[in-house]
Amino acid sequence: MIAAKKYAENTLKEIPGYINDGEILHILYTTDINWKHANAIKEFTNFKDDLISD
């Protein structure tokens, strides 16, 4: 489980902690957001697949 959390941290490192709307759009258009990011979000939150997919 510790390895999964470390992997999640590394996956999300490229996304800043504080971000404005323009930066969010830039990341969405220029970054390959994939299952690794979804798993990292699930690791740090109580979000489930159905909520993330919305």
- CA angle 30–17–44, rounded 5-degree value: 95
Domain housing 32? 2-53
pLDDT tens digits, one per residue of 3-23: 666 666 776 777 777 888 898
Report H helices in 1-54: 2-12, 21-30, 35-44, 49-53
Model pTM score: 0.49
Q: How far apart are CA 31 and CA 51, in angstroms?
A: 21
With a cut of 70, say whether residue 41 has pLDDT above it. yes
**What are the distances in angstroms from CA 33 to CA 2, 4, 11, 14?**
23, 18, 10, 11
Number of domains the chain contains:
1
